[in-house]
Structure 1
């Protein structure tokens, strides 16, 4: 063993024989030996006939001298099968984990950063870090609407309206479940747009104007909406099946649409975000009227949006609705850029505009 304090053997006295055992030994159920000290040869030879080491800390040596030779039933246990205390086991596992992590980090040169909250407590989330959090602007106008101007705008507008009908039929007044389902769809366009713009930038050796990062941030923000709503609304198995089906169809359809006409694709997302604002507004009305319990805000929402510790569900819905309003503006703005015949790199993206 590399460390002198690590036990190499433990002796379990499970039967004491016929002779009287001294009081100092009667209460000992486990005797741990250390590997760094020289055993009393007389004690070892009399007790076991093997050169084992002295007792840990030198305790009970005198009390046990002359005793082990007369104890007829002694069972030896190796280091791997010995009975360990709970504290020793946890300490060994912790040391092993730290050693493995240290070796792994040193080998690959990747050392995970330790993040903390402002009060110094450990950061509990691995899906996002403290520098990715923000305080949303809830003063944004949620009533703005882009009036369709041509047949392409009307196509995007009425497609969104058509998709709303089955959603209303399925979820009805369950706005929490409706919002959860909506976020699984709303998180797709940003990822698809960012991916295609990334590939376009590689093919054409041109800058993106920051739009790749802006669209990926939008996708990540929508995903965090879903992670938050998962803590509030627990989806049933058939709702999960619906998400899988819808995502498979929507991803491929939006992928093809973005390849054909990015302008219509962004206009479609702008109208989709307008519907999201409408749904969250109805959700807020339900909370205010008492139809939905205004439960405490999930811990993930408090950290992600930097909400007060006593924030409630209504506060969470407010910041999510504000995010959707920002996404609405960004996508309508992106569609207007393409409508003017410009490329995205000609108009810098509104980064960090949640």
Structure 2
């Protein structure tokens, strides 16, 4: 997940981004957003959660001025979306199009990439230029832990495995790691570690390691500035380039993975997501298609739910972001 602009030089981009994020006034969290789009489409009989008569909204509204970027899929059609303005989080239902506040905003906080850990009902949130990783209770929104990692550049996206939580830093060539103990026990306040990235992935100007997803025994990471995909060993940090044939993936942001199908979301080149078919060992892949929707406006990342791909509209080019409308957009897969 990467705020605009992604093509700027590394150090100035990160510093300017941090200043811009913290300067945005925190929007008021008012009544829950409840108005789904009037335009709906019947869910095919093969949908994962309902019968053919069930209907899904084309767009799901998010709080005005929330500056969303990250989204995580919970149980069923539950979703979570965060705010770059104040770190607040809403929880909603893609089936009904309704959402409500889950985590209140705090001045100076930022919510960027996020993921939901179903086994422990925990929501993990990357804090961008604040250098923080925060865990919340997925039901109550209670803060379970917060780790601020010194020397961080821009903590961007999050993935959880059986052994730990891995966070990309788009400005510093390393992963932030929160080891998980027996039965998923959280580390102590000083328990965050860092794992230098070595091998094929070499940082340069612009945003580097961005989206991250676990595949087989490795972590798949996209480098936004080059468009390359890499396998990163979660134990050693050694990276190997994934040989991908097909269209250029430069500018890729969030990653959505199910099975061997990887969606690489674009918010600054096209309002769409490339569809990559990975090899069984994850060492190669092929771009086999692209999906999009007219309602998309600088999408950042997404989730798969109810037989569709749902992408967050980051709307980074909007003139007045603090008063702008934001949405999660349903993209039908074909």
TM-score normalized with structure 1 length: 0.21
TM-score w.r.t. the length of structure 2 is 0.22
